[in-house]
Structure 1
Amino acid sequence: MIQSKIRKVGNSAVMTLTADMLALLDAKEGDTLYVVRTDDGGLKLMTENPELQSALAAAEVVMDENRELLQALA
């Protein structure tokens, strides 16, 4: 478990991501992080946009269902 404190910077509350946290996320300075609420009320930090991942998964299903038709059109 990694612990981090929330501190005030100007009018914002800030949590610093340590080098260990960045390594766990496979993230670096300047990357965008996405925060989603989990079913149990927690928060999940992600380096990939969950909405985009959902759309790509849906597109993959459609392409799998129509693979022969798509190959014929190519």
Structure 2
Amino acid sequence: MIETRIRKVGNSAVMTLTAEMLAILDAKEGDTLYVVRGDDGSLRIMANDPALAAALAAGEAVMDENRDLLQALA
């Protein structure tokens, strides 16, 4: 387990990722990270999730194709 702290920066709360965490994620400053909530309330941080990216792209395509219908249902 790696411990980190939450601190206030301006109006935001930020979590510092240590060099060890970045190495585990194979990430660097400026990369996009994905945070996914588990069924048990846990959070999972991923540097790259091709399945998630594909699902989001498919969802966006469906929403674009059915924009009028979705607005009528809202």
What range describes the TM-score normalised by the shorter chain of this pair? 0.5 to 0.7
Shift of 1:51: 2.5
1:16 is the counterpart of 2:24: no
1:34 is the counterpart of 2:14: no
RMSD: 2.0
Shift of 1:14: 0.5
Query: What letter corresponds to residue 22 of structure 1 in structure 2?
Result: L
Identity %: 67
Q: 5-14 or 40-49: which moved more?
A: 40-49
Shift of 1:48: 1.8
Structure 2 stretches lacking a partner, 5+ long = 57-74
Q: Aligned with 1:3: secondary structure?
A: coil
**Whole-angstrom CA distance in 2 between matches of 1:17 and 1:48:** 16
**Whole-angstrom CA distance in 2 between matches of 1:4 and 1:53:** 31
Q: Aligned with 2:8: secondary structure?
A: strand
**Whole-angstrom CA distance in 2 between matches of 1:7 and 1:52:** 29
Query: What letter corresponds to residue 4 of structure 1 in structure 2?
Result: T
Structure 1 stretches lacking a partner, 5+ long = 56-74
Give every structure 1 segment of 4 or more consecutive aligned residues whose post-TM-superposition deviation is greater than 3 Å.
Answer: none
Length-normalised TM-score, structure 1: 0.66
Query: What letter corresponds to residue 4 of structure 2 in structure 1?
Result: S
Query: What letter corresponds to residue 12 of structure 1 in structure 2?
Result: S
Length-normalised TM-score, structure 2: 0.66
